[in-house]
Structure 1
Amino acid sequence: MKETKELHSLSEWSISHRRHLHQYPELSGKEFKTHEYIKKIITELGLEILDFPYPSLVAYLPGMIGSKTIALRADIDALPIQEDGEKSEYMSKIPGVAHVCGHDGHTAVLLAVAKWMSENRSLVQHNVMFIFQSSEEMSPSGALELVKSGVLNDVDAIFGVHLWQGLQKGKIGLTHGPMMASTDEFEVTINASGGHGSMPHETIDPIYIATHLIQSYQAIVSRQINPGEPSVITVGRIDGGTNYNIIPSTVKLYGTIRAVSQENREFMKRRVREQTKGICATFMADQIVEFIDGTPPLINDAKESNFVEKVIKNHIGENSFALIDIVMAAEDFAFYLNEKPGAFIFVGMKGDKSKYPHHHAKFDLDEDVFQSTIHLFIKIVLDYPSS
């Protein structure tokens, strides 16, 4: 299918729905009105709605042959951010909540793909599952919940897109392997013995100990992991102390660990525990280390990602494809790829319209890229091999 008048019309239809969704964003796990909005459209299109955890919505279209089942996914939640910027036509009407990551666009694009396929059933050979997923932005993940509920049991491959501000407009990119990092949170509590700042010898100083811990964590990345394997340990928050001349009894560190392999993910968690225990013991303090597990590394299946590369070059344009660098941000699409082969795809939109990064109050989508994104999803399904 070429970029015809029909495809342009479908893109305009998608943009109108995106602007409605943008004005009425809902936070993770609370996308109740969003669910009903999607349900109304899907029902009008005549697609079957499958029984999976609410407020996610999963729709199904049987193919003409039905030898394969292809899943396409969009996330539907927004962020707890007060929106800003020049978006008067569709600014969020919900105080303190905004679609400043692009999920409204993902949802609108997938609705347009569902519309096209419902109107061109004779061309759709494979079964297609449309996953409108809740709670991408929080833990527990909506993707994990759906996977545990068996959403991929009969699926052969799954594909997802992210309208991506970090990639130049006109480019569509992915990797043929690790693409995005895992993300886990940690909290370290140092329990020591405080006192007056003028008499440190009578204390066990948890602030001093914390400085050693932070330095030692960076050595995990720089001296214990292969430099060719991206990894990050960041301490983003330190709580401790009440005054300039008082040594506290307790200090807490809060941070994140990111890796592009499950092996390094587990290794870093283990070393944070071991180094925290050892350093605190050295300075005669007690410690508690707690982890909040997030998403695993997002690793594209090489066979499926190479298939997508061919689709991009054949139907969007030879020069449109970009082999991108690994991104250390995380995405819960990784849970799907842990279960079934597939690929995650970035649709670039960096330019004058989309110049602020994701999660920025002034972030906005460049709606010009909707047409190529819809086209891409349709061609992935139509070109997917039967054997």
Structure 2
Amino acid sequence: MKNREELQTLSAWAIKHRRYLHQYPELSGEEHKTNEYIKRIITGLGLEILDFPHPSLVAFLPGTKGSKTIALRADTDALPVHEEGEKAGYISKVPGVAHVCGHDGHTAILLAVAKWMSENHESIVHNVKFIFQSSEEISPSGALELVNAGVLEDVDAIFGIHLWQGLKKGSVGLTHGPMMGSSDDFEIVIEASGGHGSLPHETIDPTYIASHLIQSYQAIVSRQINPVDPSVISIGKIEGGTNYNIIPSTVTLSGSMRAVKTDTRDFIKKRILEQTNGICASFLATAKVEFIDGTPPVVNDSTESMFVEKVITEHLGANVFSLVDVVMAAEDFSFYLNERPGAFIFVGMNGEKSQYPHHHPKFDLDEEVFESAIHLFIKIVQQYPSD
């Protein structure tokens, strides 16, 4: 950047677009108007739009030497949440849909980066791909769709940011390795033999069996996995029965599982299946177990993450960098990192403006951190080594 005033002007431009996007959120896979909005801006900047699955949009800026290709990614989808709180005139105008994770900010920031790079093309050595990705919040993932479509075939490294409420405002951080957990769901249907609540001995009670399964799953985490290896199993839904005095014939458990290592992720699946079948068999019941694969763990490439740390300390300030703790929230940026080296970065914004956690109805971005995010993306591309 030439000066701080230029960065402030660019940030204000991004905030204007973020507030528009915030008012017109679209759910995963339905970001058609968002795509058109991005397309108008990108076309006006003179960037090439590449042929990738709609409603994602991928733009390309050739470097002045074209020695390498760096990809920068933003996500575009909103959530099925009815927004609450004071939003200074930019609250969602779509009932039951809101940008309560920050994707509107990510999109606006990447648009601002594209604007600056197109206007200062002479300072951009490497080719740059700008990935505006649909469907981060659901499975199948928009990132996986783009990877399968070849978005990374000519890419040397990829970087992404997340405006992060869990990190204090003024900090920018990452890890040099595992950073975020995998996310997979499961559904277990216990099939037994119900009957009258006064005659339990004449039944095989799936509700009672379910209680044993829930307890046993926690033993996977607490007694079968190394305590320093983060993992989570949570039952979010229990469904069964029609009346207080009737023992049902089936009970369904729905839950999620998270890990930061791929082998731990696989181990949890294996043990859930084995324990479910074993416990159900011991009570003369059976079970159907279905796993719904989600996203793998986010694991930063240590070489690229060390490079980002150097960029942060040199251009944002040594006191800005934070080595963050692993979080068990998931991000489909992991699909990119499975294919190419890169790093995912948290831009902290925890403070008075951003008090509520991601996905909360009152969640809001602190737009003052946009300057840091824009500056960081630009410097990552400019400082990326040529050899």
8 Å CA contact 1:2, 1:315 repeated in 2: no
Instruction: Tell me how far 1:197 sits from its aligned partner.
Output: 1.1
Corresponding residue number in structure 2 for 1:141: 141
Instruction: Tell me how far 1:88 sits from its aligned partner.
Output: 3.5
Does residue 1:306 correspond to 2:306, yes or no?
yes
8 Å CA contact 1:59, 1:130 repeated in 2: yes
Residues 83-137 of structure 1: CA deviation (Å, up to 9, x unaligned): 1101131111111110010000000000000000000110000000000000001
TM-score normalised over the length of structure 2: 0.99
Amino acid at match of 2:30: K
Corresponding residue number in structure 2 for 1:343: 343
Q: Secondary structure at the match of 2:382?
A: helix
Does residue 1:93 correspond to 2:98, yes or no?
no
Corresponding residue number in structure 1 for 2:131: 131
Instruction: Tell me how far 1:3 sits from its aligned partner.
Output: 5.0
Q: Secondary structure at the match of 1:166?
A: strand
- 1:231-380 correspondence to structure 2 within 5 Å: 231-380=231-380
Quick one: distance in 2 between partners of 1:149 and 1:275?
A: 38
Quick one: distance in 2 between partners of 1:221 and 1:64?
A: 52
Quick one: distance in 1 between partners of 2:304 and 2:251?
A: 47
Instruction: Tell me how far 1:266 sits from its aligned partner.
Output: 0.6
Amino acid at match of 1:7: L
Residues 236-280 of structure 1: CA deviation (Å, up to 9, x unaligned): 110011222111100000000100011000110011001000000
Structure 1: gaps spanning 5 or more residues: none
Corresponding residue number in structure 1 for 2:54: 54
8 Å CA contact 1:81, 1:97 repeated in 2: yes
Question: Percent identity among equivalent residues?
Answer: 74
Structure 2: gaps spanning 5 or more residues: none
Instruction: Tell me how far 1:196 sits from its aligned partner.
Output: 1.0
Quick one: distance in 2 between partners of 1:2 and 1:106?
A: 23
Amino acid at match of 1:242: T
- 1:7-46 correspondence to structure 2 within 5 Å: 7-46=7-46
Quick one: distance in 1 between partners of 2:353 and 2:3?
A: 22
Q: Secondary structure at the match of 1:107?
A: helix
Quick one: distance in 2 between partners of 1:2 and 1:166?
A: 31
**RMSD of aligned C-alpha atoms?**
0.7
Q: Secondary structure at the match of 1:131?
A: strand
Quick one: distance in 2 between partners of 1:20 and 1:247?
A: 53
Instruction: Tell me how far 1:64 sits from its aligned partner.
Output: 0.7
Q: Secondary structure at the match of 2:319?
A: helix
Quick one: distance in 1 between partners of 2:82 and 2:287?
A: 38
Quick one: distance in 2 between partners of 1:238 and 1:303?
A: 44
Quick one: distance in 2 between partners of 1:197 and 1:43?
A: 67
- Structure 1 moving runs of 4+ over 6 Å: none
Quick one: distance in 1 between partners of 2:265 and 2:132?
A: 28
Instruction: Tell me how far 1:2 sits from its aligned partner.
Output: 6.0
Residues 207-246 of structure 1: CA deviation (Å, up to 9, x unaligned): 0100110011011111111111000000111001122211
Corresponding residue number in structure 2 for 1:200: 200
Quick one: distance in 2 between partners of 1:88 and 1:337?
A: 37
Q: Secondary structure at the match of 1:179?
A: strand
Corresponding residue number in structure 2 for 1:182: 182
Amino acid at match of 1:24: Y
Quick one: distance in 2 between partners of 1:243 and 1:53?
A: 48
Quick one: distance in 1 between partners of 2:245 and 2:322?
A: 55
